Amino acid sequence: MEVDYKNIKVIGFDADDTLWVNETYFREAEEEVGALLSHFETPNKIDQELFKIEIKNLPTYGYGVKGFILSMIELALELSNNTVSNGIIGKILEIGKSMINKPIELLEGVEEVLIELSKDYKLIVVTKGDLLDQERKLEKSGLLKHFHHIEVLSEKHDTNYRQLLKRLDIEPKSFLMIGNSLKSDVLPLVKVGAQAIHMPFHTTWQHEKVTKKEANGSEYTTVEKLTEILDLFN
């Protein structure tokens, strides 16, 4: 079924892995830390235990590089029974600093799409993660000039979206969200009566994956790259 976007007035964009590369750096960091801790456990076990620790720590640290690094340090302590060397802890911290200082790699067509859509629609960023880190990435991206509003949420549930739309005085039926995560950027919007476009990224964090059953019955559009969105509005 073809989706009608004639009522859309405001378009929201996720940031990480929608506007620029992000998840790739987390996977690279996991591999580096896995190598550092390889004499304590197997790579598969290290991945499993890190994910458990990350999920346990989300209510305390939230999303982002800083919480990720703290979780990796906790992992190192647990796997080593608190015998891990100061040198390895120092290397994990350096990996974290390197992640924060990564250059911003925009995804294909981002600037073109934002320029075109901003002619007819109000554009906003709706992302989650560490506030300071997200502000830094937005500034480094050079994309701030295209957006009317920036919102960094602690979570992206339907409740968070309802509160945001109400605060910004946006009718759900006039709002469209674009993002790479079905769990965070698509399904909650469908639930609140807004529209959503899913643009999958080649790497997805396990926590952001959903089952076919969870996505069943939800109406949304899927595109392979951002420039395809322009065709939907012509």
Q: Which SS3 state, helix, strand or coil, does residue 74 take? A: helix
Q: Same structural domain for residues 145 and 87? A: no
What's the pTM value of the predicted model, to 2 decimals? 0.88
Question: Residue 208 gets which letter from DSSP?
Answer: G
Phi, psi of 42 (to 5 degrees): -75, 155
125: left (phi over 0), alpha (psi -120 to 50) or beta: beta
Domain limit, last residue, from 100, 127, 157: 100
Task: Determine the structural domain holding residue 142 and report its residue range.
Answer: 10-20+104-232
* More confident call, 129 vs 191: 191
Q: What is the CATH number of the domain that holds 83?
A: 1.10.150.240
Instruction: Name the token pair of 28.
Output: 């690279």
Domain limit, last residue, from 100, 129, 162: 100
pLDDT at position 11 over 90:
yes
Q: Same structural domain for residues 127 and 173? A: yes
Look at residue 149 in the predicted model and tell me its pLDDT: 94
pLDDT, one tens digit per residue, over 31-59 is 999 999 999 998 889 988 998 999 899 88
Q: Same structural domain for residues 134 and 221? A: yes
Q: Same structural domain for residues 111 and 217? A: yes
Number of other CB atoms surrounding residue 52 within 10 Å: 13
Is 140 a member of any domain?
yes
Nearest alpha carbon to residue 191 among 200, 182, 199: 182
Residues 205, 186 contacting (CB under 8 angstroms) = no
Contacts of 135 (CB under 8 A, 6+ apart): 150, 152
Q: Same structural domain for residues 71 and 146? A: no
Look at residue 58 in the predicted model and tell me its pLDDT: 87
Look at residue 203 in the predicted model and tell me its pLDDT: 60
pLDDT, one tens digit per residue, over 92-139 is 999 999 999 999 999 999 999 999 999 999 999 999 888 888 899 999
Q: Same structural domain for residues 51 and 162? A: no
Is 1 a member of any domain?
no
Residue with tokens 């976007």: 5
Considering just the CA atoms, what is the radius of gyration of the chain in Å?
Answer: 19
- Structurally, the chain folds into a number of domains equal to 2
Dump strand ranges (E) for the chain.
10-13, 122-128, 149-153, 175-179, 195-198, 221-222
Look at residue 211 in the predicted model and tell me its pLDDT: 53
Contacts of 204 (CB under 8 A, 6+ apart): 23, 180, 181
Is 224 a member of any domain?
yes
Amino acid at 31: E
pLDDT at position 66 over 80:
yes
Domain limit, last residue, from 100, 128, 160: 100
